[in-house]
Amino acid sequence: MLIRFHVHATFFDTGFGDSAYPAYARAVIAAGDVIGNHTFSHPKNWGFRTHFTTAAQRYQLVRTADVLTPLIGHRPCVMRPPGGAYDAASLALVRRLGMSLVMWTTDTEDWHQPPYLSRAYQLVILRNAEAGAARMHPIVLMHAAKASHEPDCKPRGCLTGQVSSFRGNTVAILPSIIRFYRSHGYRFVVL
């Protein structure tokens, strides 16, 4: 979809995902996109929320960098923490490892879309994405896959704490998001 619209993006991949599907990472890079570090296993207890140790965080980041380096041709230079959770120690560690921590300014909330095509939810994703236009340099959070280990959504939809592995609504509404941002004078860039 991105290729069709001549848009490039930055993907934050888990080491676990790219070690299981290295062709995916190679295709992302071949398309001119960027891949950053999103930990190895997307641990739910990352960062300050439950005091994931600095040593455990380092292991997650280094292991992912070791997986990504041969796939993308260099050590990853950007990192996004699972769930956006980090503290001063996390930030210092990321910097010591030669990366910049990158957060989003706008969450489309596509991570808990229902596990079926829903025009109503596509419009939720679009409305959430459009909210980013209020910023000068928005970073819009969208998901290409499920990286977390929370329970998957039930057939009727996501309950609290569930994360959808279905991305059909994200893909379906992506052209509208691209058109919206272009019509408002934004350019798509990678980090």
pLDDT digits (tens, 9 = 90+) for 134-167: 988 999 999 988 777 667 777 676 766 677 788 9
Q: Read off the pLDDT of residues 111-135 as tens digits, 9 standing for 90 and up.
A: 888 889 999 999 999 999 999 999 8
Q: Is the model's pLDDT at 50 over the cut of 60? A: no
63-122 tens-digit pLDDT: 999 999 999 999 999 999 998 988 888 899 999 999 999 999 999 999 888 889 999 999
Q: Which two tokens stand for residue 175?
A: 């052209």
For 108-156, give the secondary structure using H, E and C.
CCHHHCCCCCCHHHHHHHHHHHHHHHHCCCCCEECCCCCCCCCCCCECC
Between CA 40 and CA 140 the distance in angstroms is 22
Domains of the chain: 1-103 (3.20.20.370), 104-191 (no CATH)
**Signed CA dihedral, 44, 189, 113, 23: sign only:** negative
In whole angstroms, give the CA distance from residue 136 to residue 133: 7
Report whether 121 contacts 114 (CB < 8 A). yes
Secondary element (H or E) of residue 106: strand 106-107
Residues in the chain: 191
Q: How would you class 1 by CB atoms within 10 Å of its CB: exposed for 0-12, middle for 13-18, buried for 19 or more? A: exposed
Q: Alpha-carbon torsion 27, 29, 33, 35, what sign? A: positive
Q: pTM for this structure?
A: 0.91
Structure tokens belonging to residue 173: 């509404």
CA separation for the pair 148, 14 (Å, rounded): 9
